Amino acid sequence: MVTFLAAIFVFGLLIISHEMGHFFTAKACGVKVSEFSVGMGPKLFGIKGKETDYSLRIFPIGGYVKMLGEEEESQDPRAFCNQSPWRRLVVIIAGAFMNFVVAIVLLTIFNFNVGVYKPIVNKVVPNMPAEKAGLKADDRITAVNNNSIESWEEFISFVDQNKDKDFKLTVDRNGQKLDVTLKPEFDKTANKYMIGIESKYVKGSFAESIADAFRKTNQIVKEIFKFFGFLFQGKISSNDVGGPVAIIKMSGEAAKLGIWNLIMFAAFLSINLGVINLVPFPALDGGWVVILLIEGITGKKPNEDKLGIVNLIGFSILMALAVFITYKDILKLGSF
């Protein structure tokens, strides 16, 4: 039951916020929206509005906002196809934009109530470089190689880029400056270089919570691109990619660890959804962004028939990929 409710919360929040971005921006631009749907496949139930039908569908793997003139020609001045390319571009990117907004709001709530990671040692992992170098709990990290460190994210980014090279770490221990030399070790489980310390959560002001939410979002976006890079280079297996089934299971696991873990997980997924939707691939929002940018610069509309074929091919590939990932998820259910 916990897993079911957690999955409904996560999927519902991500899908509704994304589609609301498209919906409200389309309305603001004067575009007629004929349907707002949460979910895909057969309709569970629906409500008929003044000019928009609202529906909930059986498969919680997405949603859509159907606009007049989005897939067909129309002479109506409120049709999507009759708007300027820049207006259409705003409508298209609004979905992903809302995913980032939701993530920042969730992270801000998390930070304000739980705290933000500070470059302060909370725990030293036994038999790791940090313990061997003499680091202790409550040591405050102030610099690496004489370059000041302001945030925990800044520090872990340095360690990740530094890899297995020796570096000088400066810490403040009860007001005393202490320099130690460390050499990170590669952790196969985490798939990254580590020195063996855990950071401490410290509650801060609301402004600090917002600032840290932006920092976390930026860091997660960088990690997503890094993951894609490793995936294309063959450094990461397709087994490391999860789909709807994996998300449902992980939502339940996060919820069992507490509401704050679930909120953090939802924020992470929201950022993922925003980034993936902006990938310049046919049928994704990112594919439309490229097309509209070209149209806006050249002043020439693409051939609708050819564009329809390209988007159909892109959609078919995405559906095949979704089926493949879901199948892999089901096979892995017993080994999470």
Catalytic residue list: 19
What angle is formed at CA 326 by the lines to CA 275 and CA 259, rounded to 5 degrees? 65
Q: Under DSSP, is residue 36 helix (H, G, I), strand (E, B) or coil?
A: strand
Residue pair 83/52 in contact by the 8 Å Cβ criterion: no
Cβ contact 169:141 at 8 Å = yes
Between CA 4 and CA 266, with CA 38 as vertex, the angle to 5 degrees is: 50
Give φ, ψ of 216 to 5 degrees: -65, -45
Quote the DSSP letter at residue 169. Answer: E
SS (H, E, C) 80-145: HHHCCHHHHHHHHHHHHHHHHHHHHHHHHHHHHHHCEEEEEEEEECCCCHHHHCCCCCCCEEEEEC
Identify the burial level of 276 via C-beta atoms within 10 angstroms of its C-beta, where 0-12 means exposed, 13-18 middle and 19 or more buried: middle
**What number of other Cβ atoms are within 10 A of residue 263's Cβ?**
22
Q: Which tokens hold the place of 158?
A: 């340095």
**Can you tell me whether residue 97 is helix, strand or coil?**
helix
CA distances from 309 to 64, 118, 181, 296 (A): 19, 51, 59, 21
Amino acid at 253: E
Where would I find the beta strands (DSSP E) of 77-203? Answer: 116-124, 140-144, 147-148, 167-173, 176-182, 185-187, 192-194, 197-202
Name which of 137, 146, 145 is nearest 165 in CA terms. 145
The whole-angstrom separation of Cα 102 and Cα 301 is 33
As a whole number of angstroms, the distance between CA 197 and CA 128 comes to: 8
